[in-house]
Amino acid sequence: MANEILSRPYRLMLSDVDRFRRLRLSVLFRMFQDLSVVHAEALGAGRAATLDRGFLWIVSKVRLEFDRVPEYGEDVVLKTWPGKMGNVLFPRHYLLESAEGEALARASSLWALMDCDKRAPVIPKNNGIYVKGFTTGGELPLPSAVLCPSPVSAGRRAVLYSETDMNGHMNNSRYLDWADDWLHCLDADFHKARTVKSLQINFLSEAVTGTAVRLESSLMEGEYYLRGIEEGESGKSIFALHALYV
């Protein structure tokens, strides 16, 4: 099939990089989600099959590994393709390359469909939704659990309206901004001295505008853990992240 793999070129602009000229993780995650939606449309699982019927695409887990973090002004190419579909989850893979074909990063992810009104998972086959997956042989293994150690610092942050998206909850890319901003562990000196090598983030439940989130973090020899827990009676886990900086 000609559309099994979708590619899109990007030039990294000022708003795409941090103060040290390196691609922001949140920008890369926005690239992931935007290209995924475009590809889903091409594969017959786009707006007409999902959004117009009250179904929302949501990402539940992402695993990412860098060979090299690209920098300001570079031309890069992002490629994506679907893995073999499960009963509920849709695997999707990514490859980020330089314009010359150098592998920069690989990622794997798990997506699902959610009923917009019920906020519950949708079984794709019961709703006529199918995406044919395949393998290239170079895929990153799918993400698994993130087990955070006991935190060494904690704080509080509330979800802002500007951080939410059309799904009605905090956009997945904004959690990466939260992780970069969490100065209890990562300050400018840390970011200057180290770059991210690998990362996994699991999105465990929704956070909407105004949700107060307790952030618990730890940093040990470049290994960074951050988890978010909703404050109040529910105490539900919002997300869990593990990153390695070198």
Instruction: List the domain range (segments joined by +) for residue 85.
Output: 6-127
Distance separating the N- and C-terminal Cα atoms of the chain:
39
Same domain, 100 and 188: no
Q: Is residue 145 part of a domain?
A: no
Same domain, 239 and 189: yes
Q: Using H for helix, E for strand and C for coil, what is the string for 47-68?
A: CCCCHHHCEEEEEEEEEEEECC
pLDDT in tens, 94-124: 999 999 999 999 999 999 999 999 999 999 9
pLDDT in tens, 138-179: 899 999 999 999 999 999 999 999 999 999 999 999 999 999
Which residue's entry shows tokens 């730890």? 218
Q: Is residue 132 part of a domain?
A: no
The DSSP H or E segment spanning 108 is strand 103-115
Within 10 A of 119 (CB to CB), how many other CB atoms are there? Answer: 14
- CATH number of domain containing 37: 3.10.129.10
pTM over 0.85: yes
Count of domains for the chain: 2
| pLDDT score recorded for residue 1 | 44
Token pair for 172: 């997945």
Q: What angle do CA 52, 109, 32 make, to 5 degrees?
A: 65
- Is the pLDDT at 3 greater than 80, yes or no? no
Same domain, 118 and 185: no
Which residue's entry shows tokens 């019961």? 126
| pLDDT score recorded for residue 185 | 79
**Cβ–Cβ under 8 Å, residues 27 and 33:** no
Q: Is residue 196 part of a domain?
A: yes
Same domain, 166 and 218: yes
Q: Is residue 173 part of a domain?
A: yes
pLDDT in tens, 28-54: 999 999 999 999 999 999 999 999 999
